[in-house]
Amino acid sequence: MPETLHCLIVGGGPAGLTAAIYLARFHLKVAVADDGNSRARQIPCTHNHAGFPEGIAGTELLERMRRQALKFGARFVDTHVDGLAIIPGGFEAGGCNGFGPARTVLLATGVTNRRPAIPEPLHADALRTGRLRYCPVCDGYEVTDLNVAVIGCGARAVTECIFLRSYTARLTLILDEGTELTEDDAARIHANGICIVRGRPTDFILDETGIHFAVSQGRMTFDTVYPALGSEIHSGLAASLGAALTDEGCIKVDAHQRTNVRGLYAAGDVVVGLDQISHAMGEAGVAATTIRNDLTAYEPILR
């Protein structure tokens, strides 16, 4: 019989890996199940993550964290968890062969950005070269005074434009056809000197002069494009167990990262909050410590 885990972590991004390091160092039996699509993998080089003055690639950061978790005894299985069931004393996960049941589960499953119609490998090339960016909080600094387009619809795209306005005056909002701005949003866009173009961009091309695409009124070129199309939130496992979600679909947690389902915790982008590495790590530290303390409240863990 495989032994019972103190915690199964679903998701091996910055949140899941931070929790794995903490839990392993609490001398707890912990395993991470991950299907390998961390948003951090897409970061060519982060410049806002503290402690790395020259920046660090997302893949390198993840590799370092995974090594650190392994060093203290965390186990890993590269798999997609396709179901979670509540059983007496804990949880059972589908797709995690080799691991026993878990007393607790931490969901650190993240989100996926909705993409404009850019096929691979062009999408990856555009990310790598900074022609395509998804996170103004992360890398708005890098587009200071550049010619930037925000692709989106409605309030989300307006908010992103206004945020980027403090980095550059050369801003265009590419507003999805059929979308009408509220009077207030239209006034904010106008007051900030942001151009509006209507249409859904297609036929993307990259070259050394910029990123080019077609809209109904012709071809356009920018230094960088920010899609503001929202995200798919990976909260299906939580929902299947009856965990409460926000209207957007993020997992609701208390101040200690507990969901409303006993033994089920969540951290990182999948929880509502600032979608940043530092925030994911902070929430994971809180979650791991709560898990440890909640486990010992039921029965002492003695060495």
Ligand X SMILES: Cc1cc2nc3c(=O)[nH]c(=O)nc-3n(C[C@H](O)[C@H](O)[C@H](O)COP(=O)(O)OP(=O)(O)OC[C@H]3O[C@@H](n4cnc5c(N)ncnc54)[C@H](O)[C@@H]3O)c2cc1C
Check residue 269 for interaction with ligand X (CB under 6 A): yes
| String of contacts with ligand X for each residue 202-241, x by CB under 6 A | --------------------------------x--x----
Alpha-carbon torsion, ordered 150, 152, 155, 156, to 10 deg: -70
Measured from the CB atom, the residue of 15 and 164 that comes closer to ligand X is 15
Check residue 250 for interaction with ligand X (CB under 6 A): no
CB 265 within 8 A of CB 107: yes
Q: What phi, psi does 212 have (nearest 5°)?
A: -120, 145
**Minimum distance, C-beta of residue 4 to ligand X, in the bound complex (Å):** 20
- Going from the C-alpha of 44 to that of each of 121, 174, 285, the distances in angstroms are 15, 25, 25
Chain positions 18 to 57 lying near ligand X, rule: CB under 6 A, are 33-40, 42-43, 46, 48-49
Measured from the CB atom, the residue of 23 and 33 that comes closer to ligand X is 33
Residue of 203, 236, 232 lying closest to 114 (CA atoms): 232
Sign, Cα dihedral of 122, 123, 125, 131: positive
Chain positions 112 to 171 lying near ligand X, rule: CB under 6 A, are 113, 127, 134-135, 138-139
The distance of Cα 200 from the centroid of its chain, to the nearest Å, equals 25
Chain positions 182 to 201 lying near ligand X, rule: CB under 6 A, are none
How many alpha carbons fall within 13 Å on the CB side of residue 28? 29
Measured from the CB atom, the residue of 40 and 149 that comes closer to ligand X is 40
- Going from the C-alpha of 100 to that of each of 145, 160, 166, the distances in angstroms are 54, 45, 51
| String of contacts with ligand X for each residue 78-97, x by CB under 6 A | --xx----------------
User: How far apart are alpha carbons 128 and 292 in whole angstroms?
Assistant: 39
Q: Binding segment for ligand X among 188-196, 257-265, 274-282, 286-294 (CB under 6 A)?
A: 274-282
CB 160 within 8 A of CB 187: no
**Minimum distance, C-beta of residue 195 to ligand X, in the bound complex (Å):** 25
Chain positions 2 to 21 lying near ligand X, rule: CB under 6 A, are 10-16
Measured from the CB atom, the residue of 138 and 206 that comes closer to ligand X is 138
Question: Encoding tokens for residue 102?
Answer: 């878990």
Q: Binding segment for ligand X among 98-106, 118-126, 145-153, 275-283 (CB under 6 A)?
A: 275-283
CB 32 within 8 A of CB 76: yes
Residues near ligand X (CB under 6 A): 10-16, 33-40, 42-43, 46, 48-49, 80-81, 108-110, 113, 127, 134-135, 138-139, 234, 237, 268-269, 275-278, 280
